[in-house]
Structure 1
């Protein structure tokens, strides 16, 4: 661990000073945010390959949590990465670097971390300590998910997680503001939120939004209903096939009291693949078929798709005009691939402008190392 328990407890004393919890209102900011999640996962990043001039924020994924303490899994590499990411500010002085806590594989103990006032204080202080130590610009929390087990049988509490989730954001805001009074700096507070009803039922959206600068809506990883082939990051619904879409999720958040300017739409720089039971409708809406041993669908990052799969090797690109989403289908193998491309990315950016949202973000930067998609966002939303 980078931060040992004793070190973290010292941070509690340094950062737990008095101060009012300040709800976040509108501040002078760039018109639109273009945020990249950058996944290190223990590796040294090729920071020089990041086009910093086309980004407003970088979220460093992921910081881990155990025993109510945030810590770095690979402190030596993470330390180098933070230093080099901060160096990008020489190219883009307004660039903001945040730590992102949790994610699909590091949310296991977040319910424990926020369970009591003491554990919340300890957890938040350890995160804010990382921000202070590495001279970063804020904290992003990707808890997957409050009140639910997520994909990794995480610890969760169906009743307690909802109010404790709100208390967590209030504590983050309090401690970040306390640090800001010392450094004369506003520290950012954001989160990656799901748009499913199962998620929003376990979150008091209007309450948490008061403390946050913005919310990154994970408008991806959708699927067709009842084991049918469907889009994973569609902008709009497509008939009876689609219970979820980016548009529906955004409208649900606004209806529950979140200001549009605090919402960011998500763009997927990666694909999902599945096998359709038949070739009807190019697989869309058909039942999902089970892959046989050895079958593998080439559904990787967008650079790989564009260079090696789209309209190649039997894969034909189609455009769903209802969903405003592309997909690939191979009639021979019945493989279906759903993803974002230049056209759908541009549509999402236009949607941001039309609905006065805060901007767009994407997972994950190095899924598109040739940067086919980032210039599309920058052209539409950049300064």
Structure 2
């Protein structure tokens, strides 16, 4: 038999073998297409649902784009979504399941600080990269090798608030009224740590439960001090109840809130009592305050897309979902499903114009934003307006 005949027989044998594999199975290799998996942990029910719902809507927008574009570099992408029900313990169980059973390459989440800290603990040990959407300082300080965040962190937001107290209100003594959860206590700790740098002392430090609806007792204690303003640190519904309680008691001290009230839900819950409330937040809430350039263009493009699909205006939580998912997907375009390489790509990100701001990560900074991302906002006639600062 000559060489050409031998080669032909070999080719025919390979073709027969492949046909048998495809028809009957049983081969050692698989014809199933590879898929990239991203885990998502959000609060779609419970107290943090007003945060998690817009986050999920944004992630679903990117999911549809990827389906249209045939995935990442031709590989399909599956977002495995878990509802932690606003419960850190369930967030911890969800991340364990996503890592061990779903074999996800990266995780987006959670919506609240408490849930995110539970996720971070498991993911750090498993060396799975996480891009968080919550703002608690402890998420990224000290730096954890595999944990990043897109929400303006508490340390940054509190600095903005304290500068406002110092330069605009010119007060020396403030009261803190905070949620007793991880977000609230972490914020209160940051205020106490930073306040002396701005010549501000803490006249009172009171807390409330996340589900509490009446804070009259705490507010009454505050009125007996020499506090010149109240800093309220929490997410709804607590701050809305505090605004109404302050009106009931006739307290006319300035109410400065956290960025956790930066959605229409606060205005709806507090009603007329929301009038005059001030808080620091990402400039995306007032796009007119963003300088011309890539960041402003990113906000405009996302805002139009979100409104076209959902009929709603964007808020910071929608932005968190969009930025976190895009940062993960962009890293996977280079790193594929390799967890360590995804982490490395995220940490190398420089001057990335997201919706929350312009992100630059480094080995010593996994929060990524600076003060330029923030603006002071006041609620006036049910609308958000910029607080003009000197």
* TM beyond 0.5: no
Higher helix share: 2
TM-score between both structures, scaled by the size of structure 2: 0.31
Question: Between Structure 1 and Structure 2, whose CA radius of gyration is higher?
Answer: 2
